[in-house]
Amino acid sequence: MKKLFFAFMLLLGATSVASAQVVVDGVNINNLEQVSMIRMIAQERFLSNKVNIFIDYGQSIRGIGRQNMEVINPNDGERIKFNSVMHAVNYLISNGWEYQEAMVLPSEGNASTTGSSAQYLFVRGQ
């Protein structure tokens, strides 16, 4: 009976890892074998305690906006609005990415932000 229970738990754990999805601009980056490292950019929003989160996995950045770098909810296709940087970090970790390093970025002069931003590097979990 213990062996059956262990096998069931192992199968359940493998299924939850297999269904992990981090969707950026319609692409589930967990399915891209050539992507082993990503950069998460966190920008404070102007007059808000929320943050804007962008994921760079090496995709082509069209135009001057970062709309194609936003994390999308695979269930409804809407942008995920993260409450804080740690909300986004925990989201990536729970979807199979391992935190590596963080660093502050210089201001980009964007009027919609306070100028404060940071980048976080993640590698694909083993």
Q: Which amino acid is at 104?
A: V
Contact of 10 with 2, CB cutoff 8 Å: no
Mean pLDDT of 8-30: 66
Which tens digit of pLDDT belongs to each residue from 97-121?
Answer: 999 999 987 665 554 445 567 899 9
* pLDDT of amino acid 86: 94
* pLDDT of amino acid 55: 94
Which tens digit of pLDDT belongs to each residue from 61-77?
Answer: 766 567 778 999 988 98
* pLDDT of amino acid 16: 41
Contact of 52 with 80, CB cutoff 8 Å: no
Residue ranges of the domains in the chain?
22-124
- Mean of the per-residue pLDDT values of the chain: 79
Mean pLDDT of 42-58: 86
